[in-house]
Amino acid sequence: MGIIKYISTDQVMAQHKAMGTHISLQIYGAREDPEKILDQTKVLIDHFEDLLTVNRKPDHPRYGLSEVTRVNAQAGKEAVQVSSSVYGLIKLAVETSRENFGFNALIGPLVKLWSIGFQDARVPGDAEIQEKMKLIDPWMVELNDDDHTVFLKQEGMELDLGGIAKGWTADRIRDLWRAYGVEAGIINLGGNVLFVNPCPKRANGMWTVGVQDPLKPRGENITAMMIPECSVVTSGTYERFLEVDGHKYHHLIDSRTGYPVETNIAGVTTFTKNSVDAEIECKRCFFAGQPIANWVNDRRLGAIYVYNDERVEKVGLDY
């Protein structure tokens, strides 16, 4: 799969490109051939991308395989049956969207209107925004648990699992690696990081992770810490934005208002046991604009808030 590199006899790295990002995988020791495991990992990633992507053009050789694309194509027309795994992810995304804290798996029409991060980015008029707001209501999705069908009730609605799919995929990779007896590993899906099992290089099993400095180039950290096996995900305003008349509009649009959220937070990094939770909780913490009372629990290990003035605030993570 891509480039496989042996760091040592029991540490193997691989690179892969999928899901619109660069993927890095590391395995430390395994019962079976690590190259075989990494090849199977590639197959798994590509399979999930085939099922979940909404970003392929019609001339793509594997266009039409996405179950989510089929759901969107029938918006306002009829329900579409999907596989059990995809249905479970869609249900999680829709139910989370209904909590109305900022995350919204139906926000696609609004994101495309702003198009922040692309050449056609612009500040749309309020009338345009209000029109698109009619298409992003998660209560307009009908889910049928008996036959695993999904129905978007209004034409023009779009389901996009991009805000949750990488975390869910990382968790499935971890399942695969554990089934193959991988001693430990690191799954990095374009910045969504999942540490698998305790670190074999330290007696306490802790891993080291850095938190990006929002005012510096990618890879330069504002802080670093030791953590147990968990997932690490960051949401921030500093990588994609549009500047018009001296005002910056970042790409994190609040589905409750139709506009990029106004906040003093430059970025939030969450640490959770499962990667899909890190995707969700990162957005929950970001849109809250400040630490949430009683947020830390058995699944949510902690969070680091970095503010626009570079102040750093840590929640939980008492290791």
Mean per-residue pLDDT, 128-146: 95
Give the dihedral of Cα atoms 8, 11, 16, 20; nearest 10 deg: -130
Across the chain, the runs of DSSP E, i.e. the strands, are 4-8, 11-18, 21-28, 80-81, 141-144, 149-152, 184-189, 192-196, 207-212, 221-227, 231-236, 241-244, 247-250, 265-272, 300-307, 312-316
Specify burial of residue 77 (Cβ count, 10 A radius: 0-12, 13-18, 19+).
exposed
Q: Per-residue pLDDT for 153 more than 90?
A: yes
Q: Per-residue pLDDT for 3 more than 70?
A: no
Share the mean pLDDT of the chain.
Answer: 89
The two tokens of residue 220 are 């330069």
Q: Per-residue pLDDT for 1 more than 60?
A: no
pLDDT at 122: 85
Mean per-residue pLDDT, 264-286: 94
The two tokens of residue 251 are 């790409």
Tell me the helices (H) and strands (E) count for the chain, helix number first. 7, 16
CB atoms within 10 A of CB 240: 14
Q: pLDDT above 90 covers what percent of the chain?
A: 63
Among residues 73, 126, 136, which one has the least CA distance to residue 104? Answer: 136
Contact 243, 121 (CB under 8 A): no
Q: pLDDT above 70 covers what percent of the chain?
A: 92
pLDDT at 59: 72
* Secondary structure string (H, E, C) spanning 4-34: EEEEECCEEEEEEEECCEEEEEEEECCCCCH
Mean per-residue pLDDT, 207-214: 87
pLDDT at 204: 94
Q: Per-residue pLDDT for 219 more than 80?
A: no
Mean per-residue pLDDT, 131-150: 96
Mean per-residue pLDDT, 22-27: 94
pLDDT at 24: 95
pLDDT at 217: 77
pLDDT at 116: 76
Q: Per-residue pLDDT for 269 more than 70?
A: yes
pLDDT at 275: 97
What tens digit of pLDDT does each residue of 50-101 get?
999 987 777 777 777 799 999 999 999 999 999 999 999 999 999 999 999 9
pTM for the model stands at 0.90
pLDDT band at residue 317, thresholds of 50, 70 and 90?
confident
Mean per-residue pLDDT, 247-264: 81
Mean per-residue pLDDT, 265-286: 94
What tens digit of pLDDT does each residue of 160-201 get?
998 899 999 999 999 999 999 999 999 999 889 999 999 999
Helix (H) or strand (E) holding 175: helix 165-179
pLDDT at 121: 78
Q: Per-residue pLDDT for 285 more than 60?
A: yes
Q: Find the angle CA(246)-CA(248)-CA(250) to the nearest 5 degrees.
A: 170
- Stretch among 110-119, 185-194, 275-284 having the lowest mean pLDDT: 110-119
pLDDT at 239: 64
Name, in order, each residue with C-beta under 8 angstroms of 163's C-beta and a sequence gap of 6 or more: 93, 103, 105, 279, 283
